[in-house]
Amino acid sequence: MASIICGSLAFDTIMNFEGKFSQQIMPDQLHILNVSFLVPSLRRDFGGCAGNIAYSLQLLGGTPLPMATIGQDGGVYLERLAKLGISSEFVRTIDDAYTAQAMIITDIDNNQINGFHPGAMEHAWQTRIAARSDIRLGIIAPDGRDAMVQHAEQFAQAGIPFVFDPGQQLPRFDGAELRHFIELATWVTVNDYEGKMLSDRTGWDTAEISRRVQGLIVTLGAEGSEVWVGGHKTHVPPIKAASVVDPTGCGDAYRGALLYGLENGWSLERCAALGNHLGSVKISRRGPQNYGFSLADALA
């Protein structure tokens, strides 16, 4: 069975700052902030939430169907998907726009400063979701604002269970909109920072959000993750990474594991354990789609 992955396909320009942001930014001068970071290393990778999640799910043996829009420069991404064996059935090309671009600077503490140009992503609403016998699940990952709203409604109308993963697009929605997303969704996943913002905007604490869906997953980085079901929390311990190189795409690797587990009827705790494992594997490699692993070890 397949999973529709609504989100972005993007090119990531990743730069590494060999210092700490906290040592370069003066808190009492934020109103006139003007800083420059020397970044000796720079690389361009295939990225975007839909692409990264699809990569993770494909490595696990799932069937990802990314639903995304690319621009006039996106031909190489289509070639990339074909090489990986990932369907581009729901990938639309917008001829008068550029593919989404992320500019990411990471410091030695793995803090990140991002700039994001949405480009063709803002046209993602043009592709619609409909019920189909081979589609079992879906996920709303960060995407164009209108696409996230419309695709959530379309998943619900088609009777397709889906994960709501607002990510960095969460600030674009007010409390009423976020509450409606949660009411439509089957599961919700956020990192700990996003979880606090989601609670603040909806007026629902973590336990209450979990009562309104089948489960809420909160990722905690090096601390593992939390699974909330019916107001009750289970902590799923982390997997220690062999090395810490680049956190870009760790959350998306985790979400691919989540979809794989849900496709196979796993408990959320087991899904989270697999997500923690993939996150620990990904963080040891640069870029969001350059890692691999032993499938047998991961599923064990």
Burial (0-12, 13-18, 19+ Cβ within 10 Å), 129: buried
* Residues recognised as catalytic: 252
The overall average pLDDT reported for the chain is 94
Q: What is the pLDDT of residues 131-158, one digit of tens each?
A: 999 999 999 999 999 999 999 999 999 9
Q: What is the pLDDT of residues 37-65, one digit of tens each?
A: 999 988 899 999 999 999 999 999 999 99
Distance (Å, rounded) from C-alpha 193 to C-alpha 111?
13
Q: What is the pLDDT of residues 66-122, one digit of tens each?
A: 999 999 999 999 999 999 999 999 999 999 999 999 888 989 888 888 888 999 999
CATH 3.40.50.10320 is right for the domain spanning 2-8+47-98+124-299: no
Question: How sure is the predictor about 248, in pLDDT bands with cuts at 50, 70 and 90?
Answer: confident
Question: How sure is the predictor about 33, in pLDDT bands with cuts at 50, 70 and 90?
Answer: confident
Q: For residues 67 and 151, is the Cβ–Cβ distance under 8 A?
A: yes
Q: How many CB atoms lie within 10 A of CB 269?
A: 16
The C-alpha torsion from 100 through 120 and 157 to 188, rounded to 10°, is 10
Question: How sure is the predictor about 27, in pLDDT bands with cuts at 50, 70 and 90?
Answer: confident
Identify the H or E element spanning 63: strand 63-70
| Structure tokens given for 65 | 């169907």
Q: pTM for this one?
A: 0.91
> So what's the pLDDT on residue 26?
80
Domain locations in the chain as residue ranges: 2-8+47-98+124-299
Distance (Å, rounded) from C-alpha 105 to C-alpha 99?
20
> So what's the pLDDT on residue 236?
98
3-state class of 60 per DSSP? coil
